[in-house]
Amino acid sequence: MTSREKIAHDYLIFRYPTEYILIFFPIMVGMIVNTFSRQYNTLGSPNVAQLQDFRLDLIDTFLTSSKVAMIILVSFFVCYRWANMLNDGSYGFWLSTGVNRRKFFIRTGIKLTFTFVLAQYLGITMILYQNSIQLPILLIIQLALGIISNVIFILILAVFLSNWLRNPEFASITYLTIMGFNIGFNSSSKSPLAMIFQSDLAYRTDNAIIAFIISLIISSILLIITLRLHVSQDIDI
C-alpha cells in the first residue's frame, strides 16, 4: 500500500519527469565534458604512473562537471520547490490529509540521496568501463564514501536554506552562491571547508577518510537542525 508521504513527495518534489532529469542530466554533462577533456589532453608515450594519473583525472573531471550539473538541478528541483511548497499551500494541503512531517522529510531525503548517488555511481561505472580503468578496492571504497557524503551535504544544505529562508528565489540564489565555493577549493587541501565541499574528490589523497567523516558530521548537524526546523515551523493548512 502506497503511503501518504510517498504520494506527497512524488507530487511536490518528484513530479514527472523530475526523477529522470535528476539521474541522467548529471551523467550526460559529466560524460560530455569528460569526452572533450580526453580529446584535448594527450600523453604521448606515458609511463605507468602518468597513465594512472591521467585515468584518475578523467574520474575527477566527471565528478566535478556532474556535480556542477547536480548543484544547478538541486537549486531548482529541491531548494526552490521546497521553499515554494511551504508558502503556496500545497504542502499544507497534504498535511491536512494526514501526511506526517517527519516521515515526509525522511522519505524525501532518502529518495533524493539515492537518486543522486545512483547518478554518480552510474557515471563513474561508465567512465571506468570506457577507459578500461581498474581501481584498487581501497580507492573504490574511498570514492564511494566520498560521493555519498558529498551528495548528502549538497542536499541537506539546500533543504536547510529552503526551510530557514522560505523564499524560493532568495534560497536558490543563496544556495548557488555558497556552493560556488566548490569550484575554488583544492581537493588535496587539509582545510575543513575543502574537506566538506570536496569530499568526493578527496578519494585519491591521504585525507579521504578524514574528509568523509568531517563532511558527514557537518551534514548530520545540519540534518538535525533542519528536521527540527521543518517539524516546528508554522504551515498554513
Q: Is residue 32 part of a domain?
A: yes
Residue 220: per-residue pLDDT: 96
Q: Is residue 9 part of a domain?
A: yes
Q: What is the CA radius of gyration of the chain?
A: 19
Residue 1: per-residue pLDDT: 42
Domain housing 76: 4-232
Residue 177, exposed/middle/buried by CB under 10 A (0-12, 13-18, 19+)?
A: exposed
Residue 120: per-residue pLDDT: 95
Residue 47, exposed/middle/buried by CB under 10 A (0-12, 13-18, 19+)?
A: exposed
Q: Is residue 199 part of a domain?
A: yes
Residue 39: per-residue pLDDT: 56
Give the number of domains in the chain: 1
Q: Is residue 83 part of a domain?
A: yes
Query: For residues 175 and 96, is the Cβ–Cβ distance under 8 A?
Result: no
Q: Is residue 237 part of a domain?
A: no
Q: Which tens digits make up the pLDDT trace of 118-133?
A: 999 999 999 888 888 8
Among candidate residues 160, 121, 144, the one with its CA nearest the CA of residue 212: 144
The backbone torsions φ and ψ at residue 191, rounded to the nearest 5 degrees and listed phi first, read: -70, 145
Q: Is residue 46 part of a domain?
A: yes
Q: Is residue 45 part of a domain?
A: yes
Among candidate residues 212, 117, 201, 202, the one with its CA nearest the CA of residue 155: 117
Neighbours of 167 (CB within 10 A): 17
Q: Which tens digits make up the pLDDT trace of 135-153?
A: 889 999 999 999 999 999 9
CA distance 18 to 20: 6
Residue 105: per-residue pLDDT: 96
Residue 90, exposed/middle/buried by CB under 10 A (0-12, 13-18, 19+)?
A: middle
